[in-house]
Structure 1
Amino acid sequence: MATPGRECEVLVVGAGPVGLMLAGELRLAGVEVAVVDRLPAPTSESRASTLHARTMELLDNRGLLARFGTLPNDVMGHLSGIPLSLDLDTPYPGQWKVPQTRTEAILGEWAGDLGAHVARSRELVGLTERAGTVEAVVTGPAGTATVRARYVVGCDGEDSTVRRLAGIDFPGHGTAREMIRADVAGIDIPNRRFQRLPAGLAIAARSRDGVTRVMVHVFDRRDTGRRDAPDFAEVCADWQAVTGEDISGGTPLWVNAFGDACRLAARYRRGRVLLAGDAAHQQMPIGGQALNLGVHDAVNLGWKLAAVVRGRAPERLLETYHDERHAVAARVLTGIEAQAALLLGGPEVEPVREVLAELAAYEPVRRHLAATISGLDVRYGADRDDQPLLGGRLAPVALRTASGPTTSARLLRDGRGLLLIPASDDDRKARLVRAVHGWRDRVQAVPTEAAPGLPDPVLVRPDGHVAWTAPDGTAGLTEALERWFGPSAPDHLTEGTTMDRLAGKTALVTGASRGIGRAIAVRLAAEGALVAVHYTARADAAEEVVATIEKDGGRAFAVRAELGVSGDVHELFLALEEGLKERTGDTRLDILVNNAGQMGGVAPEETTSEQFDRLFAVNAKAPFFLIQRALRNLAAGGRIVNISSGLTRVANPSEIAYAMTKGAVEQLSLHFAKHLAPRGITVNSVAPGITRNGNPVFDIPEAVEQMAQLSAFQRVGEPEDVADVVAFLASPDGRWVTGAFLDATGGTLLG
């Protein structure tokens, strides 16, 4: 949340659907986001109520449709009020009706789940770009604050303060004709679908809750110069003038006006300031295209801005945001202007409307117009007859992979790119997988059986558009990968070795100064990760772990915090973020290993309430809140490993309370795994058995021999045995394991 003096990677101004969609997209990639909005609470006004097919596909790509539940759908749309079927090749043809308030709430919930926060009652009043940063002056309840961000994105509507402060021109024209509308309860009038009457245009639609939305335009009225919303009396007067019906006995719930103003920002980007949604384009909301156009902006921008912020792609990638979305908006606005002229024009436009209705009856014309309205016709880059998929959206397709059936939408949910390889030739599959090897952190390669609509391999951007395709070979794939995903990562250039699997990654291992935690820290560092070695009291032991790692060419630093006490998580993350920032330039965390724990060793009859509470505070409560806090830092595709215990499966009365805490840890892993799967974050628990941990009992040969007999391998475990399991789960190889309990007891008590 934006606070005085706070630094963040991206500041989003405006918490409407566009700003929240963008915040979620950025958080999906682990970018630190602050969202500010001048309103004290989300608006109760439901301006936009239509989601089109392409928006539904994008929401499906992020796993969001289930949150909406069942939505009313009508395959019939319109063009300037002329009925037009929107039936196209998509799972979501037509118009899907949902109040904007609901859309905003769902996107806000999703962004919040990913770690984004909205600071309300905050108004932007100043914007200054300096070398490598933007200083935003924000006023709020606590006074004036300066928020320093690497980038600022204005999602703050037609009257965008961001656009004004950035000095971005907004050419076009203002309102010449308008419609006024109201949501009215307590009236009973016929539904009207774009009914053109002698005096004007009337629309009425009654919703399931009994509220009727009315919209009315008087033909001979021009350029009202309106600054404030109309009152209900004006709505009633115009409605009666056009329809002859009296609705003054109803109760107005919301009244506003919208006109045929049309403006398009000259640039979507100036330096480190960008625009999205209505801040970039103003249009008459005919057919519900405005909200959809803005959400598409956010999805196009989100992954690109995240790649630049994360240092994975050069800044020139942001220029493609302007190039692509500005051109799309120009085309959409031209269509809306044409519709506005034919919808709000008087009797003089009737001949043109009749001709248009005749043309729309021809199937190629209908499909063309329907695709334009639905957002399904967008194609980035030059058309190529030999590659009809290139630049266009990848239509949702059912796939069969080695892991079973899935869909292209599911594979895009973690916000990474996707290389689908429907090749029957095993050699070609292998060549394509190798070709994308250096981009494994940004692109998922998925061999699949050939599917209708997917004859050739395709490289799909995170926004669902095809970046590369070829009927054979790999020509052009490297160039496409470099253009859209940045240079190949050096940590993946060494083929055939596992010791670079975590290069460029950051890890926090709690309780890492000794025993299993020490072994995990050393192993992750050997794989290339920068490791934060957490300790509670033994600074010398933690520094010894750091020295061992550095001696072997790895990177590590120590962080101290006592777990299980008030302020423990805050203290730990202050030190962690300071250490990460100093060494990497940001606070991204890729791997969290909750290893720190405390054993009981007390008979159940002698366990005190204080001892019981202490065990739960350290072993169960701390991991929960460490994960909760880490969600702000964890990148998409991150890994969480919670160390449990074999005692959740084997009885030991002296450790009842301890075993209970570890049972809680396993439940923690299971439920967080479900919660974080949309971000591609895996969460698993690993249960060690009898493992050398520095306890003096391991210095007694007879005791060790007795303990060894409990293992199927006839030996006690070594910390490195457990560290190897954790390293697998933390690596790219563990990407398909989540919510799992891994027994790392060496087969203790198998029989």
Structure 2
Amino acid sequence: MTGDYTDTQVVVVGAGPVGLFLAGELRLAGADVVVLEQLTAPTTESRASTLHARTMEILDSRGLLTPLGDIPNEPMGHFGGTPLDLTLPSPYPGQWKVPQTRIEELLGQWANDLGADIRRGHEVTGLTVTGDYAEAEVRTAEGATAFLRAKCVIGCDGENSVVRRLGGFGFPGADAERELMRADVAGIDIPNRRFERLDGGLAIAARRPDGVTRVMVHEFGARPRAEQPRFADIVDTWKRVTGEDISGGTPLWVNSFGDASRQADRYRDYRLFLAGDAAHQQMPIGGQALNLGLQDAVNLGWKLAAQVAGRGPDGLLDSYHSERHAVGREILSNIRTQALLLLGPAAVEPVRQVFAEVARESENVRTHLAGVISGLDIRYEVGPGEHPLLGRRLPHWQLTTDEGAVTSTATLRSGRGVLLLLPGDEARREELRAAAAPWAGLVGTVTADSYSGAEAPLTGALLVRPDGYIVWADTPDTDLKQALKRWFGAPPATSRPSPATPVPATARVNNNSSATATAKKWRTDMNRLTGRTALVTGSSRGMGRSAAIRLAREGALVAVHYTARKDAADEVVTEIENDGGRAFTVRAELGVPGDVHELFLGLESGLRERTGSTDLDILVNNAGVMGGVKPEDTTPEKFDELFAVNAKAPFFLIQRALKNMPDGGRIINITSGLTRFANPDEIAYAMTKGAVDQLALHFAKYLGPRNITINSVAPGITRNGNPVFDIPEAVEQMARLSAFNRVGEPEDVADVVAFLATDEARWITGSFVDATGGTLLG
């Protein structure tokens, strides 16, 4: 496909509960995501309403239960209509009743707050997959055609999935042989029925607190109809099965579902993925379909985010298919069994009776079935070791830590992995802390002084994935570092000594000018920016390079931006790291469509990987292009290029950065002394820098309430690698313009930038800082 396109990291197709939950998981882990939904507004139909224990634990691990308020709970569930006690060790045993509309509302708000781009009225009409990207062709609600290009596309678009069809996924299984019709009906008064099998069929009726009754009915021997039923069809069938007349009620919602059972032969095909009902079709008995899909999402989200960020270890995405396909296969098998027990003819009654007796009398059978339905029995293959908790979800414990009391589930709120150190030998705990330190941006360490709860760990430490499953236990036959590499990849390159670590002073002597042949030393007492993050555009050389190095020396984690010279940007990172600092590269060409979006894709990924957050404390707009063209030779194309890079890009970088910048942030724009000093050969260039001066003046007023400062730094003639600085006579002539009788060095400007980035410059905003060495004095 060709033409204009939107570039992102992941496209999720479908804004139901599964798609929205997956979008939130991806954003929590730092991936950029666009959600495409064919419907122009959320559905008002509450098809599913049951959440099981494992899903409740997962929602709790993301802090999503509190907004739901008090949720009605029923400890008893069923298996094929036979009552079944679902109580198992969990803070949330049983069934929890939440309308699907409320779940979608909650997950949509969560994903949106995390920065997911949710686009309704967008229908996917085509897919193209190459070695570099997956592209979705979309028809918008206005009838226009749009293209979205991403590293991956995920189908969360239901049992009739377009992604599955266009992607060529196999979907083997069986078509429906039976159907269950259902409706939400107001204004009727009939007895509640819980899976009541009568001579003619099955009847279910449940009156809600709002007075609406949900009825479901199946007539033995009836085949699935080709179209969705009318309310009249349900009225007729209900009367034949129960003898009751519900025709006087008002239908709010009518549909039917069958017992079709299909599963995609693969959940991943290179850059395409399936989750939820797009990956598996089953009769929605007891709410298992919704829970299965939400658990697909939490399994895939953190893995895919790691992969698109370039840090996912080999085989990580393959584990999504291997883990979730096996779970789906087991669930589909038990649902087929339930469908037969629930909707089968009179001939299945003896089987139902024997089954009910066994489930009632055998605790092993009950706990097995309860574990399957609730999702608490899941155990993944996660690597070597024989510990009984390996591959299982983290049990619910009350922990006492230095920060206070916390539940084990709440330790997963950040979406990162967790190394949980339980009471034990302190020397061993310190050894494990040191082993996990290189992965600190991906795995948080929680030290518990005490714990209480069921399912004793029988070990002193556990490594837990972001989705809550234990992948390592501290036993003699396992190695923590190997488990970290297997699930989180090689340790990030920036996990070197922190800026606070004492570093030997290194003399740096400028040999270009005798006037500046002064040793500049790294100092270890200047960590005024420790814990902060910075982006310096155009920092692979010149003043940007020096500014990046200087900010890193102050303790900041620095994103080194470049356009073409990755080798030069890598050299800057290497220099910073060799001196104990932290930095990473990010590429984007400025002045072209999509420039800011591309830059922040890489920036957020790098920040999330290293800090667990996408906060940006300091923005230095340094990148720019010189004109060097006489006014009579300036073409419209050159003029537009100058303004696109020098003025437009800084404006929109600020606009975008403010979404990531906490209160108290710092914005520094590199402008030019040419806005105050005439040079006829740089009129167009000077105009662009004059525009940049206005950013500080006007944004300062706008950002004052957030304590964000913004200032302009105006260099004069500064050594920048231009060959003219290798000509002594030219340098001498330029030096005469300065009050100090020398040309500027990049470090001269970098020191000013660093000062404005610190708290010591908190009372300076909207200013024009003359860093020309007195050139403007006249």
Distance across 1 between alignment mates of 2:61 and 2:382? 25
* Aligned CA distance change for structure 1 residues 295 and 505 (closer, same or farther; 3 Å): farther
**Aligned letter for 1:169?**
G
* Aligned CA distance change for structure 1 residues 556 and 153 (closer, same or farther; 3 Å): closer
Map of 2:559 onto structure 1: 530
| Residue correspondence of structure 1 range 299-378 to structure 2 within 5 A | 299-314=298-313, 316-361=315-360, 362-378=362-378
How far 1:9 moved relative to its partner?
0.7
| Residue correspondence of structure 1 range 513-528 to structure 2 within 5 A | 522-524=550-552
Map of 1:652 onto structure 2: none
Map of 2:129 onto structure 1: 129
Q: How many residues align?
A: 625
**Aligned letter for 1:278?**
D
**Aligned letter for 2:245?**
D
* Aligned CA distance change for structure 1 residues 311 and 208 (closer, same or farther; 3 Å): same
Map of 1:468 onto structure 2: 472
Map of 2:17 onto structure 1: 17
CA contact (8 A) 1:27 1:115 kept: yes
SS of match in other structure, 1:365: helix
CA contact (8 A) 2:550 2:754 kept: no
Map of 1:481 onto structure 2: 484
* Aligned CA distance change for structure 1 residues 505 and 341 (closer, same or farther; 3 Å): farther
* Aligned CA distance change for structure 1 residues 583 and 249 (closer, same or farther; 3 Å): closer
SS of match in other structure, 2:494: helix
| Residue correspondence of structure 1 range 245-644 to structure 2 within 5 A | 245-314=244-313, 316-361=315-360, 362-381=362-381, 386-452=386-452, 453-454=456-457, 455-471=459-475, 475-494=478-497, 498=501, 507-508=534-535, 522-524=550-552, 529-531=558-560, 576-577=596-597, 590-593=614-617, 629-630=656-657, 641-642=664-665
**Aligned letter for 2:287?**
G
Map of 1:73 onto structure 2: 73
SS of match in other structure, 2:149: strand
Map of 1:148 onto structure 2: 149
Structure 2 gaps of 5+ residues are: 504-526, 563-568, 577-582, 622-649, 668-697, 715-750, 765-778
SS of match in other structure, 2:616: strand
SS of match in other structure, 1:467: strand
Map of 2:732 onto structure 1: none
SS of match in other structure, 2:190: coil
Structure 1 gaps of 5+ residues are: 534-545, 562-570, 598-622, 645-656, 667-684, 695-716, 727-741, 746-751
How far 1:257 moved relative to its partner?
0.6
Map of 2:217 onto structure 1: 216
SS of match in other structure, 2:147: strand
Distance across 2 between alignment mates of 1:559 and 1:162? 30
1:581-606, Cα deviation, whole Å (9 max, x unpaired): 79999998944226899xxxxxxxxx
CA contact (8 A) 2:532 2:617 kept: no
CA contact (8 A) 1:73 1:94 kept: yes
How far 1:490 moved relative to its partner?
2.3
1:665-714, Cα deviation, whole Å (9 max, x unpaired): 26xxxxxxxxxxxxxxxxxx8x99xx9x99xxxxxxxxxxxxxxxxxxxx
CA contact (8 A) 2:183 2:252 kept: yes
SS of match in other structure, 1:137: strand
How far 1:580 moved relative to its partner?
6.2
How far 1:138 moved relative to its partner?
1.1
Distance across 2 between alignment mates of 1:198 and 1:528? 72
Structure 1 residue 184 corresponds to structure 2 residue 189: no
SS of match in other structure, 1:451: strand
Distance across 1 between alignment mates of 2:74 and 2:420? 33
Distance across 2 between alignment mates of 1:458 and 1:56? 22
1:247-293, Cα deviation, whole Å (9 max, x unpaired): 00101111101111000110001111010000000000111100000
Distance across 1 between alignment mates of 2:397 and 2:199? 48
**Aligned letter for 2:481?**
T
| Residue correspondence of structure 1 range 98-113 to structure 2 within 5 A | 98-113=98-113
Distance across 2 between alignment mates of 1:496 and 1:430? 21
SS of match in other structure, 1:449: strand
1:641-664, Cα deviation, whole Å (9 max, x unpaired): 5369xxxxxxxxxxxx99998873
1:122-142, Cα deviation, whole Å (9 max, x unpaired): 111111111121121111124
CA contact (8 A) 1:503 1:529 kept: no
CA contact (8 A) 1:51 1:95 kept: yes
Map of 2:740 onto structure 1: none
* Aligned CA distance change for structure 1 residues 196 and 384 (closer, same or farther; 3 Å): farther
How far 1:383 moved relative to its partner?
10
Map of 1:164 onto structure 2: 165
Distance across 2 between alignment mates of 1:85 and 1:411? 29
* Aligned CA distance change for structure 1 residues 419 and 84 (closer, same or farther; 3 Å): same
CA contact (8 A) 2:442 2:488 kept: yes
SS of match in other structure, 1:492: coil
How far 1:429 moved relative to its partner?
1.2
**Aligned letter for 2:268?**
R
Map of 2:681 onto structure 1: none
Report the more deviating stretch, 296-305 or 141-150.
Answer: 141-150
Structure 1 residue 665 corresponds to structure 2 residue 664: no
Distance across 2 between alignment mates of 1:129 and 1:262? 29
How far 1:312 moved relative to its partner?
1.0
Structure 1 residue 41 corresponds to structure 2 residue 41: yes
SS of match in other structure, 1:15: coil
Distance across 2 between alignment mates of 1:329 and 1:341? 18
How far 1:220 moved relative to its partner?
2.1
SS of match in other structure, 1:227: coil
* Aligned CA distance change for structure 1 residues 154 and 660 (closer, same or farther; 3 Å): closer
Distance across 1 between alignment mates of 2:502 and 2:241? 76
How far 1:364 moved relative to its partner?
2.2
* Aligned CA distance change for structure 1 residues 580 and 162 (closer, same or farther; 3 Å): closer
1:387-434, Cα deviation, whole Å (9 max, x unpaired): 110000002222111222112222211111000011432211111011
CA contact (8 A) 1:15 1:36 kept: yes
Q: What's the % identity of the aligned pairs?
A: 50
CA contact (8 A) 2:438 2:492 kept: yes
CA contact (8 A) 1:277 1:297 kept: yes
SS of match in other structure, 2:370: helix
Report the more deviating stretch, 194-203 or 353-362.
Answer: 353-362
Map of 1:654 onto structure 2: none
* Aligned CA distance change for structure 1 residues 137 and 660 (closer, same or farther; 3 Å): closer
CA contact (8 A) 1:50 1:96 kept: yes
1:140-191, Cα deviation, whole Å (9 max, x unpaired): 1241122111101000110111111111110100100111000001101111
Distance across 1 between alignment mates of 2:354 and 2:586? 73
1:435-479, Cα deviation, whole Å (9 max, x unpaired): 11121111111221242334431000000000100246x942111
How far 1:508 moved relative to its partner?
3.1
How far 1:245 moved relative to its partner?
0.3
**Aligned letter for 1:406?**
V
How far 1:499 moved relative to its partner?
8.8
CA contact (8 A) 2:560 2:572 kept: no
**Aligned letter for 1:220?**
G
Pairwise CA RMSD of aligned residues? 4.5
How far 1:375 moved relative to its partner?
0.7
Distance across 2 between alignment mates of 1:267 and 1:550? 41
Bigger radius of gyration, 1 or 2?
A: 2
Distance across 1 between alignment mates of 2:469 and 2:4? 39
Distance across 2 between alignment mates of 1:594 and 1:587? 13
Distance across 1 between alignment mates of 2:337 and 2:374? 16
**Aligned letter for 2:705?**
A
Distance across 1 between alignment mates of 2:603 and 2:110? 31
**Aligned letter for 1:467?**
V
Distance across 2 between alignment mates of 1:130 and 1:475? 39
* Aligned CA distance change for structure 1 residues 43 and 488 (closer, same or farther; 3 Å): same
Distance across 1 between alignment mates of 2:92 and 2:232? 39
SS of match in other structure, 1:126: strand
Distance across 1 between alignment mates of 2:298 and 2:349? 39
